[in-house]
Amino acid sequence: MSTETIGIIMNGVTGRMGTNQHLVRSILAIREQGGVTLEDGTVLMPDPILTGRNEEKLKALAEKHGVKKYTTDLDSVLADDSYQIFFDASGTPYRVGFLERAIAAGKHIYCEKPTAVLSSEAYRIAEVAEAAGVKNGTVQDKLWLPGIQAFKQLKEAGFFGEILSVRGEFGYWVFTGHDEGQPAQRPSWNYRSEDGGGIIIDMHCHWRYVIDNLFGEITDVFTHAETHLPERIGEDGQPYKCTADDAAYALFKTKTGVICQFNSSWDVRVRRDDLFTMQVDGTRGSAIVGLRKCWAQSMENTPRPIWNPDIDSPIDFNDNWEVVDPGPCDNAFKIQWEMFLKHVAREERFPWTLREGAKGVELAEKSLESHDKGAWVSVG
């Protein structure tokens, strides 16, 4: 059995997503498990180098996790043929600039979503990658969540009959920093549109590939956006003005006729099964799809409620739902990383490209357009 090393430049991974999901739970986890085995038996071993602006932060991250290599000199590693892949998890406004440099250096590209702030830029960088002939991919992690894996099994088994509608609820209370002992738990740039923030650009990128892949391609969007909380406290302890939307109330029509309604909010308290749930209702059955679990109710188990507000409901509506076990599931980001590594090494199929990622940015843009016009907007 031979081993091939695959060099990966990991840029901007001192941040939340880069450190937790991509470095620790994906690349280092793949190294710990002994690499990725290809169909011909070859083992692919990722060899990461961390890049970023701040040497101290890179050093601390590398030392903490036993990563040998890091540098602030991106050009030197872009010029180094031992690195085939450039990965970016830096802030959204910087993504396209980094990708452009890496594509010019002939690297294969993998990156976080959103791939750009504007859809024109997102499509342009996809074209630049395609024209250069480099392989490319965008993170679409939600597709490999255990809850969604379980849903797909139900769908493939015909459990739902015809799927009619989907109601997605995403969100939780993100503290503003004003409350005693409750510092803000998300980076402040998320609440400033000038820094690439906003719940629409963040979450509608996800809803695009989730809906397109699971229910049918989105054809039209109607969105109302709000900035419910006008001020939050930044990393420097100072108040700042929130210029980006922190809640979005959206309806999506699809080619298949499935109607999807997704609420996304950082200003809601949770009394549901998970931070993200989708209720999928079909003619023969329904499911609640969470991040890790999925609950299903068949026609046979569907209760017959009678409207009577004068008494407590005789039916416990949480009864008659069965937990659907998707079987063992790995980390969603790691699953997609393994597929991308195989794609780079051996041409294996990888449809989650920069062009697919651009569709998510486009949906976000159309959603904001819908909000501005107060009207439905068609999605190309």
Ligand X SMILES: NC(=O)c1ccc[n+]([C@@H]2O[C@H](COP(=O)([O-])OP(=O)(O)OC[C@H]3O[C@@H](n4cnc5c(N)ncnc54)[C@H](O)[C@@H]3O)[C@@H](O)[C@H]2O)c1
Interface ranges with ligand X (CB under 6 A): 12, 14-18, 52-53, 89-92, 94, 112-114, 139, 141, 187, 202
Q: Which residue of this chain has its Cβ atom nearest to ligand X in the complex?
A: 15
Nearest approach, Cβ of residue 370 and ligand X (Å):
21
Smallest distance from ligand X to CB 172, Å = 13
Find the shortest distance in angstroms from Cβ 380 to ligand X.
23
Residue 260 backbone phi and psi in degrees, to 5: -120, 135
The nearest distance, CB 196 to ligand X, in angstroms, is 7
In contact, 27 and 46? CB cutoff 8 Å: yes
* Close Cβ partners of 134 (under 8 Å, ≥ 6 residues apart): 103, 106, 107, 108, 109
CB burial of 99-128 (b: ≥16 within 10 Å; e: otherwise) equals bbebbebebbbbbbbbbbbbbebbbbbbeb
Q: How far is the CB of 8 from ligand X (least distance, A)?
A: 16
For residue 91, the minimal CB distance to ligand X (Å) is 4
Question: Closest Cα to residue 364, out of 141, 207, 253, 138?
Answer: 207
CA distance 100 to 80: 16
| Placement of tokens 């970023």 in the chain | 52
Taking the complex as a whole, the smallest distance from the CB of residue 291 to ligand X amounts, in Å, to 11
The two three-digit tokens of residue 299, written as one number: 């026609």
Instruction: Choose between 205 and 225: whose C-beta lies nearer to ligand X.
Output: 205
User: Which CB, 107 or 253, lies closer to ligand X?
Assistant: 107
- Which two tokens mark 61? 């991250």
Nearer to ligand X, 12 or 147 (CB): 12
Nearer to ligand X, 58 or 287 (CB): 58
CA dist., res. 348 & res. 363, Å (int): 28
Shortest distance in whole angstroms from residue 15 CB to ligand X:
2
Q: Specify the residue, 324 or 341, whose C-beta has the smaller distance to ligand X.
A: 341
Q: Which of 84, 142, 138, 113 is nearest to 17 (CA)?
A: 113
Task: Identify the three-state secondary structure at position 341.
Answer: helix
The residue among 186 and 224 lying less far from ligand X, judged by its C-beta, is 186
What is the β-pairing status of strands 259-265 and 247-254?
antiparallel
Q: Please identify, using beta-carbon distances, which residue of 160 and 191 lies nearer to ligand X.
A: 191
List Cβ neighbours of 246 (8 Å cut-off, separation of 6 or more). 174, 191, 198, 199, 226, 227, 228, 229, 265, 266, 267
Closer residue to ligand X in complex, CB, 60/299 = 60
Beta strand ranges found along 55-203 (DSSP E): 69-71, 83-88, 108-111, 136-138, 163-171
